[in-house]
Amino acid sequence: GYHRAAEALLLGEPFMAEAALEVGLVNRVVPPTEANGIAQTQARKLAAKPLSALVETKRLMKLSQQAAVQERIVVEGASFGAAMRSPAAKEAFTAFMEKRKPDFSKV
């Protein structure tokens, strides 16, 4: 989980559907031609349940994670702000405007 996520985030490489399935980010991978049908089947199953029960179940599942998520948002926001002011960000933005690949070897 953690190490694969770190690899994907640090390298910035595409995260394929099969890899997302392996680490539990998605429940299943289906052929594109079947995606709409499967989504509609799942939607019908959910629609048949009492809305209040679904809402409460979702609330309870998220409850234990909320504090950690809120703390993480603050930390990530500060980190993002610092990153946007960094020499690497300046080089990335300059390279983009100049339509060239960034050179991070000097930052």
Q: Could you tell me the pLDDT band of residue 22, with boundaries at 50, 70 and 90?
A: confident
Phi/psi at 86 (5° precision): -80, 160
Confidence of residue 2 (pLDDT cuts 50, 70, 90): confident
What integer pLDDT is reported at residue 71 of this predicted model? Answer: 84
pLDDT at 70: 80
Domains of the chain (ranges; CATH) run: 1-48 (no CATH), 64-107 (1.10.12)
Q: What's the confidence (pLDDT) of residue 12?
A: 84
List pLDDT tens digits, range 55-99. 998 888 887 777 777 888 888 999 999 999 999 999 999 999 999
Helix H, strand E, coil C: the string for the chain is CHHHHHHHHHHCCCCCHHHHHHCCCCCCCCCHHHHHHHHHHHHHHHHCCCHHHHHHHHHHHHHHHHHHHHHHHHHHHHHHHHHHCCHHHHHHHHHHHCCCCCCHHHC
